[in-house]
């Protein structure tokens, strides 16, 4: 498991929402861009990981939050879950 896959797995565990990780394509073509990217959690929103220094959390009905570390995201999700 790579670092991002572990990150999304932990977010999934905290939220209690299943998440299926997809390895990103190494080269974009018109045929392989049809699958939605990682970070979609049905009923919650979107968590986009641009690397450990830039993570965007968008929850339906709330403001977008930018985090700088994985731990910051985990703490935020724990608070949102309550």
CA 60/CA 62 separation, integer angstroms = 6
User: How many angstroms separate the CA atoms of 36 and 52, rounded?
Assistant: 21
4/39 Cα distance (integer angstroms): 10
The whole-number pLDDT of residue 56 equals: 92
Q: Residue 20: what pLDDT?
A: 86
Say if CB 69 and CB 52 are below 8 A apart: yes
**Which tens digit of pLDDT belongs to each residue from 30-46?**
777 666 778 899 989 99
Is residue 47 domain-resident? yes
Is the pLDDT score of 52 beyond 90? Answer: no
Report the alpha-carbon distance of residue 46 to residue 76 in Å, rounded. 13
pLDDT of residue 17: 93
26 in any annotated domain: no
Number of domains forming the structure of the chain: 1
pLDDT given at position 34: 67
What gap in Å lies between CA 32 and CA 66, rounded to an integer? Answer: 29
Average pLDDT value over all residues in the chain: 87
């Amino acid at each position: 498991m790579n670092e991002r896959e572990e990150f999304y797995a932990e977010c999934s565990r905290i939220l209690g929402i299943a998440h299926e990780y997809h390895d990103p394509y190494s080269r974009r073509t018109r045929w392989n861009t049809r699958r939605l990217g990682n970070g979609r959690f049905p009923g919650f929103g979107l968590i986009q990981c641009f690397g450990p220094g830039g993570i965007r959390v968008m929850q339906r009905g709330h403001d977008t939050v930018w985090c700088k570390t994985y731990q910051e995201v985990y703490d935020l999700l724990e608070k949102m879950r309550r």
